[in-house]
Structures are given as structure tokens and as C-alpha cells.
Amino acid sequence: MVGLGFIIFIATLFYWAQIDRRLPRLTYKEQVYATRGNITSRDNFKIASSKKLYKVSINTKNIDPEKLDLFVNLYSLYSGDDKKKVKKKVLSRKGYLVLSYNIDSKNANHLQTLARKLYRLGVFKTYHDPKTGISFLHGLSVVQSGERRVYPVVKTLTPVVGYVKKIEKDGITKVAGVKGLERYYEDRLLSIQDTMTVGSRDISNTIILNRDSVSSRRVDGLDIHITIHLKLQKLIEDLTDEYKKKLDAKEIIVAVMNSKNGALLSLATSNRYNPDLIRKKDYPNLNVSAIEYAYEPGSVMKAITFALLLKEKKINPYDLVRIYGGTYKLGRKTIRDIHKSKSEWISAEDVLVYSSNVGTAQLAQKLDSVEFYQGLKDFGFTKKTQIDLPYEKTGSIPSLRRFKSKTYKATVGYGYGMTATFMQILKAYNVINNNGRIVSPYIASYFQEDNSKKYYVRRDTEKEVIPVSVSKRMKQILIKAVKKGTGKKADVDGLIIGGKTGTAHIAEGGSYAKRYNSSFFGFANDKKNSFTLGVLVIEPKKKYHYFSSMNAVPIYKEVVMRLIEEGILVPNSTLK
């Protein structure tokens, strides 16, 4: 009897020891996932940000059947989900059930409060599993399931800001940049370290934070503060939309850059998309055409050719050049002027002011092959501009050997036989407005951690491309081109406006089609500020409006007027 009693005693102890191991742990681990950094405009508007997503789950076996309707009504009220759908979901499954994967932070807080209330109301009861003999009690569980990228300004600043793709890892939703700033600064925006909190829990599965609990610091991705002025960007985008429709153009691109340091105040296009909802028809708009579309620039290159001639002291602006009635034979090639001159002889600077192909073809011969080839490379052609955007193209120029050909010198001199991107041309024109020194365009100003320490982006050292005297002379000639030449419609009283038009045929199948790209590049300065501007109109189809003087130049002036409206440029009657 004593022996039997002892065996029963030991067996009972063993049984209760086993039961104890089946009870829920007293300690609980909770992980809070770090989020991706924000992108913020110069005027402090959020361009892109991340929202935490929460997963809400229950075990339907723990719901008291008599209080099912109470649970459904309260959960629907707090979450915003449809009552009928919630009830159908709960009734369709016995056991663990995820009610939602996409609860935002605000609703998650409400639901965590609801979880405690449901315990007090007796909505959940202990369930005894007849198969295993285990009893358990699980209530409403609210845990972070990842993050979602949101773009509050919708289509504004796309495709520059770019977009992201979802990445599922260990049941957690993260995002990664695919295009634009989101892709270029992926390593800075990416979250660094999640929070892990370990401690005792209360009956609603919430960790009790006391001196015994342990928590690691969460490190989110860095916020990026950019140079783009959001209000100006929106105004210019509205302009591109208006003129795209008016001109029946394929795309219109506009940029405004601080001439002194390369900071972009605006980089706008008419072809945009909603990063939150990309559809098949948006695919052509995903690329940043300002850096990914290389084209023959046309007459805007005449200013670069002229600057190289002045740098090498091969011409005097007052030298006379014969125009031959606007038609000139160079070997087998016939070169024609679009803008007919009233005089047979014009000054070298007027060749640029009135955009003479014939005059430019002759002046370009004064440069030897090395001077021309290396000069274009010094201005940044065939190289990336170093703008902080991915997938930048470099364009092309003929080889050094081909520059020995008079025909190649002539055609490259007025912007054919080579390709460049919009941003390369903008960077080259900025040399003229920045005392002959070249700077790289940029969008990100600085990075910031938790609204505290700032990390400024390191910039390349400026390099002199042309002497100050040449840049000053070029500015005078480009101002004359606006006052008297092909850019008259760009002039604004009280500001220093200069620039050059460009209308170029588009090559197709080895010949030039009746399709055009039109552009206007130049500068707009007041007494304190200096900005380099560019406008490109891709394939305008409106009849007689393919000349840049009829499309790009009026847009340019409208952009300058927006800069005045926003107080970025201030006209002064003493400026001439």
C-alpha cells in the first residue's frame, strides 16, 4: 500500500510538471520593425514616407459563441472593416485566423485598447482541447506586419522620386527602391535596426514595461531633405501639362538649377504617374527622360561651339562671316539656314544670335580636332552629370579621328551627329552662367537621423572649363540672342535673361523624319540670384509650332514668371 501510494504520488508530480510546461510562457518577446526614411521637399512637405502595417489575429476557438455578435460589432467599429465580411470570416474557420494584414498605426492603437476591453467583457474564454488535453486562452492579437510606402503628393515630382517594390521576408512586408531617388539612395533610406522588447506580459498579451524588461533601440532609415521646391514644382508641372496638350507633344521637360552650386529647384515633366498605383499605361513614364533620353540637341550646341572658339582665341565676336544667302556647300553636304539673314555678311556673334547654320559650319573649322573633341568632353558631354538619380545615360560624340572631317566639325558645331541628354546640356549651359566653372546638378541636400543630426552630401570640386572673361562674353551674346535674336519671347523686364533656341530633326531609319525636338537653354538672374533653366519639347505635332521660338521659348518665359511669383527672382528696373 505504501509503495503504491508512493508511485501515485510521483506520477502526480510528473503529471503536473508536464502540465506546467504546456502553460503559456510568462515572458514575451515583441518586435517593432524599423521603417524606411522619409523624403522631404525644400519647403518641408513630405514627398514619400512609410506607414507601419499591423496584423490582427484571433483564435476563433476562444470566442464565446454567445458573444460572437458583440465581438464582430466592436471589432468592425474599431477597425473600420465590414461587419458581414468579418462575421463570415470568423465562422468559416476554426482555430487561428488573421482578420487583417493592413491595419495602420492609429487603428492598431485602438484595437490594442479593444483587446483589453474584450477580456473584461468575457468575450474570450478558455478552450480545452480534447485531443491534447491542453487548455489555452488567446485574445485579440495586434502585431506589426511590416510597412507600406505612401506618396502624399501623388503624381507630383514623379518620376524623379521613383517608386518601390514589396519584399516579403519571414512574414514581414518591407519595401525596396526601384527607380528615382528611392533607388539611388536605397542604402540611406533603408531601415537599420528593429526594436526587440522582452518582458513579462499581462493577460492581454501586452508586455509590462518595468525594470526587468529589456529593449533594444530602433534605428529607422535616414530622412532625405531635397532641394526641390514643391510649390514651384507643382506650378511648373501644371505648365508642362498645359503646353503638352496645346502643342500635342510627346513630352515636355523643364529644369531650374541654382547656377552657383547645382541645386535643382525643379525638375518637371508632363509625363508622370501615381507611385501608389502604377498601371500598364504608366510604364513609358517610369523613366526620368531628363537623364535617360539621349537625342541630337540641335542649335543649342552652337553656344558651346562658340564658347570653345573664344576660349581657344580662334575668333573675335566682331569678325565678319559670309552667309552665302543661307545656303552653303561643304563637300557633298549642303547646309541651309532656317532663319534667313538680310545681310550677306554678319558678325561672328550674330551667327549665334540669329542661329546661322552656315556661319557656325564655317567657324567650327577654326577648331582643330583635339580642341573640339576635348572641349566637348570638358563641358561634360559623353560623361554622366553625377546627378543623384540612377540609370543615367551619357550620349555620344564622334571619335577624335572623325573630328578631322570638315563635315563632322560642321554638323557637331550646330548639334547634329552627336547625342546628349537634357541634363548634360543644362550642366554645360550652367558653365556660362557660373563664371566658366562646372558643377554637378543634385537633388539631395542632406540626410537627417530622428530629426536631429544632419549629414550633408559631399560635392565634387568645381573645375574651370572656360575663363571668366569668356563666360562673361558668352552671357552678353546670349542676352543679345534674347533681346534681338531667336529668343525674343523669353525676355522679362528687370531680369537678366539669356539663352539659345534649338530645333532639331529626329533621326529615323538612317534619315531625318519630319519630327522635331525643340529646346531653349539659358539663364535668368536678378541682382542676387542666378539660375540656369532648360526647356525641352519632345515631338510637338501642332502645325507650324515645331520651332523652339514657338514652343520652348514661351514655356521658358512662363517658368521665369513663376519664379517671380514665388519670390525666388526679384525684378529690378535698374537691370539691363
Q: Is the pLDDT reported for residue 253 higher than 50?
A: yes
Query: Is residue 268 located within the same domain as residue 177?
Result: no
Does residue 467 lie in a domain region?
yes
- 114 vs 117: CA distance, rounded Å: 5
538: Cα separation from own chain's centroid: 20
Mean pLDDT of the chain: 89
- Taking the C-alpha atoms of 223, 229, 231 and 235 in order, what is their torsion angle to the nearest 10 degrees? -130
Between CA 221 and CA 227, with CA 224 as vertex, the angle to 5 degrees is 175
Query: Is residue 314 located within the same domain as residue 404?
Result: yes
Single-letter amino acid, residue 437: R
Residue 47: which of 186, 234, 174 has the closest Cα? Answer: 234
3-state secondary structure 501-532: EEEEEEEECCEEEEEEEEEEEEEEECCCCEEE
User: What is the domain range of residue 138?
Assistant: 27-80+96-200+222-226
319: Cα separation from own chain's centroid: 46
| CATH number (domain holding residue 315) | 3.40.710.10
Query: Is residue 192 located within the same domain as residue 312?
Result: no
Query: Is residue 145 located within the same domain as residue 264?
Result: no
* pLDDT attached to residue 446: 95
Query: Which pLDDT band holds residue 22 (cuts at 50, 70, 90)?
Result: very low
Query: Which pLDDT band holds residue 463 (cuts at 50, 70, 90)?
Result: very high
What are φ and ψ of residue 132, in 5° steps? -100, -20
In the chain the first and final C-alpha atoms are separated, in Å, by 119
Q: Which of 94-108, 371-385, 456-470 has the lowest mean pLDDT?
A: 94-108
Strands 39-40 and 223-226: parallel
- 252 vs 517: CA distance, rounded Å: 10
pTM of the model: 0.85
Q: Is the pLDDT reported for residue 17 higher than 70?
A: no
Residue 103: which of 51, 164, 169 has the closest Cα? Answer: 51
- 251 vs 560: CA distance, rounded Å: 20
Alpha helix stretches (DSSP H) within 29-174: 68-79, 83-91, 105-120
Does residue 132 lie in a domain region?
yes
- 497 vs 491: CA distance, rounded Å: 6
Q: Which of 232-236, 342-346, 364-368 has the lowest mean pLDDT?
A: 342-346
Q: Which of 144-158, 248-262, 417-431 has the lowest mean pLDDT?
A: 144-158
Q: Which of 81-90, 388-397, 490-499 has the lowest mean pLDDT?
A: 81-90
Query: Is residue 308 located within the same domain as residue 367?
Result: yes
* pLDDT attached to residue 23: 45
Alpha helix stretches (DSSP H) within 163-283: 180-184, 186-189, 230-247
The alpha-carbon radius of gyration of the chain (Å, integer) is: 34
Q: Is the pLDDT reported for residue 254 higher than 60?
A: yes
* pLDDT attached to residue 20: 44
DSSP symbol at 205 = S
Does residue 5 lie in a domain region?
no
Query: Is residue 41 located within the same domain as residue 113?
Result: yes
DSSP codes, 482-506: HHTSTTGGG--TTSEEEEEEEEEEE
Does residue 20 lie in a domain region?
no
* pLDDT attached to residue 102: 80
Query: Which pLDDT band holds residue 216 (cuts at 50, 70, 90)?
Result: low
Does residue 2 lie in a domain region?
no
252: Cα separation from own chain's centroid: 16
Average pLDDT over residues 55-78: 90
- 438 vs 440: CA distance, rounded Å: 7
Residue 134: how many other CB atoms lie within 10 Å: 12
Query: Is residue 134 located within the same domain as residue 238?
Result: no
Does residue 91 lie in a domain region?
no
Residue 142 β-bridge partners: 56
Q: Which of 77-86, 155-164, 308-317, 433-442 has the lowest mean pLDDT?
A: 77-86
| CATH number (domain holding residue 183) | 3.90.1310.10
Query: Is residue 131 located within the same domain as residue 256?
Result: no
Total domain count for the chain? 2
Does residue 4 lie in a domain region?
no
- 396 vs 520: CA distance, rounded Å: 21
Residue 107 β-bridge partners: none
* pLDDT attached to residue 563: 97
Query: Is residue 155 located within the same domain as residue 264?
Result: no
Alpha helix stretches (DSSP H) within 390-434: 406-413, 422-433
Q: Is the CB of residue 117 less than 8 Å from the CB of residue 74? A: yes
More confident residue, 457 or 573: 457
Query: Where is the domain boundary, 192, 226, 260?
Result: 226
User: Between the CA of residue 291 and those of 230, 244, 537, what are the distances in Å?
Assistant: 20, 20, 15
Query: Is residue 241 located within the same domain as residue 181?
Result: no
Q: Would you say the C-alpha torsion 400, 403, 405, 407 has a positive or negative sign?
A: positive
Does residue 3 lie in a domain region?
no
In terms of Cβ atoms closer than 10 Å to its own Cβ (0-12, 13-18, 19+), residue 471 is buried
Query: Is residue 240 located within the same domain as residue 142?
Result: no
Given the C-alpha cell 521603417, which residue does it identify?
Answer: 35
The rounded percent of the chain whose pLDDT value lies above 90 is 64
Query: Is residue 191 located within the same domain as residue 242?
Result: no
Residue 443: which of 386, 388, 384 has the closest Cα? Answer: 388
